[in-house]
Amino acid sequence: MKRALPMILATMMAAALCAGCGNSSQGTTQTQATAAAAENAAEKTDNTESAPAEADAAKPEGNLKAAFITPQALGDGSVTDLSYSGFTKAAEEYGMETQVVEVQVGEYEETLRSMAQEGYGLLVCLQPELVDAVCTVAPEYPDTLFFSMNGEINDIPNVLGSANKEQEGSYLAGVTAALMSETGKIGAVIGQDMAQNNRYAAGYEDGAKAARPDIEVSILYAGTFEDPAKGKELALTLYNSGYDVVYQVAAKTGLGVFEAAKEQGEGHYVVGCDVDQSPLLPGQVVGSQITPYDTWVYAAMKDYGEGTFTGGRTEAFSMNRTDGAGFDFDSTGKVNYKDGVKEAVEDSKKKIMSGEIVPESVREKDK
């Protein structure tokens, strides 16, 4: 198990599997673990069962501990770094003791048990890869709270799940890519072939074909979120085959897409993912699909800090539910957009939010 000290997130702004564990919608409030910590300011090491705390529990006082557990390393300039910024913001505001764990495959359950046993009252578990481990471990530690970021979990009282309509923002990415393409060919580099990532891909294809029915779309899978060299290799394959806009949905692997576009030069574009990535390659990033993961994590941490954490359910996010979600155009002012591109994207956004457009969430290959 590799543990990492908190990192400076310079790369972030500078530059599902979600099968779930059930479908009950009954929620419960923050457990007595936090209340106990408030009374004695001691680290929790006892994992015996306790009844849920009352819904109007007072704000906890004491040594609150939260762990940030991620299968994707920090430094991706995207989802992991963004989530971590929400984590650190809340931790600082509520004076929490924190730990960061970049967990390895095969160590998921072991890591969650270790953090629970060490008295971390809230485990923030990123990405669908950890869903099965959370479903297994959380019932063993009813006094430990779990936030499953990007994981639908509905029937475990001490677990709050979260899910996003990635296809909404990626639909707008597809509209942009299709209308900006000179060759009529656009592509995407996806981290892994799994449900969450394929919602990005499905929306991207749907938006592109709605904007330009004759567009050719190619989706390539890297099989990893941790290999920029692989991302660059796949992006170069696309660029060298005449695909002039490439959407990256691959975390750290996706950084290689920017390297490939830079190497190819003017006229080879990138669409960023989750955060505004236009500063990474000014003039060649036509926009970024935006998902405010930081606000999700911050909200869960805030509820933990104030004793109002509610589990047993999944929070569902969309452009209508989350301020800032969707798609952002180039923020550097270096991209020259074709006539009508921004208007088409804004029109599509309004229609998605009104329900007139419902972007595809499943790729044709998976239907």
Q: What is the pLDDT of residue 321?
A: 62
DSSP state of 292: -
Are 271 and 312 in the same domain?
A: no
pLDDT at residue 300, rounded to an integer: 95
Residue 282 and residue 302 in one domain: no
Residue 62: per-residue pLDDT: 58
In-domain check, residue 257: yes
Q: Which residue has the tokens 């660029």?
A: 239
What's the rounded Cα separation, in Å, for the pair 264 and 245?
12
Q: Are residues 74 and 173 in the same domain?
A: no
From first to last of its 367 residues, what are the pLDDT tens digits of the chain?
A: 434 333 333 333 333 333 345 433 333 334 333 333 333 333 333 333 333 333 333 344 558 999 999 999 999 888 999 999 999 999 999 999 999 999 999 999 999 999 999 999 999 999 999 999 999 999 999 999 999 998 999 999 999 999 888 999 999 999 999 999 999 999 999 999 998 899 999 999 999 999 999 999 999 999 999 999 999 999 999 999 999 999 999 999 999 999 999 999 999 999 999 999 999 999 999 999 998 899 999 999 999 999 999 999 998 877 776 656 789 999 999 999 999 999 999 999 999 999 999 999 999 888 8
What pLDDT is attached to residue 292? 87
Query: Looking at the domain assignment, is residue 61 inside a domain?
Result: yes
Query: CA end-to-end span of the chain, whole Å?
Result: 37
Residues 137 and 195 in one domain: no
> Does residue 366 sit within a domain?
no
CB atoms within 10 A of CB 141: 23
Domain presence at residue 191: yes
For residue 77, the model assigns a pLDDT of 86
CB 302 within 8 A of CB 90: yes
210, part of any domain? yes
- Quote the pLDDT of residue 253: 96
Number of neighbours of residue 182 by Cβ within 10 angstroms: 11
Residues whose CB falls within 8 Å of the CB of residue 279, separated by 6 or more in sequence, listed in order: 13, 14, 15, 331, 332
**Contact yes or no for 15/77 (Cβ under 8 A):** yes
**Residues 115, 188: one domain?**
no
Q: What predicted TM-score, i.e. pTM, was given to this entire model? A: 0.77
Rounded Cα gap, residues 163 and 274, in angstroms:
14
User: Cα 351 from chain centroid?
Assistant: 24
Number of domains in the chain: 2
| Residue 336 and residue 307 share a domain | no
30-46 core/surface letters (b: 16 or more CB in 10 A; e: else): bbbbbbbbbeeeeebee
Instruction: Using DSSP, state whether 351 is helix, strand or coil.
Output: helix
265 and 308 together in one domain = no
64 and 213 within one domain: no
Query: What angle (nearest 5°) sits at the alpha carbon of residue 263, between those of residues 258 and 264?
Result: 100
Q: Is 21 inside any structural domain?
A: yes
Separation CA 52–CA 49 (nearest Å):
10
In angstroms, rounded to a whole number, what is the distance separating the alpha carbons of residues 359 and 171? 6
User: Do 158 and 173 fall within a single domain?
Assistant: no
Which H or E element spans position 246?
strand 245-249
137 and 221 share a domain?
A: no
Contact assessment for residue 253 and residue 261, using Cβ atoms and an 8 Å cutoff: no
Residue range of the domain that includes 280: 166-292+323-361
- Coil, strand or helix: which one is 290? strand
Whether residue 73 is contained in a domain is answered as yes
CA 16-129-164 angle, to 5 degrees, is 40
Euclidean distance between CA atoms 296 and 123, whole angstroms: 14
Give the DSSP letter string of 164-181: E-HHHHHHHHHHHHHHH-
Residue 367 lies in a domain: no
Regarding whether 173 and 267 lie in a shared domain, the answer is yes
Co-location of 239 and 142 in the same domain: no
CATH number, position 299: 3.40.50.2300
The DSSP result for 128-159, as a single string, is GGGHHHHHHHGGG-TTSEEEEETB---S-TTE
CA max distance for the chain: 66
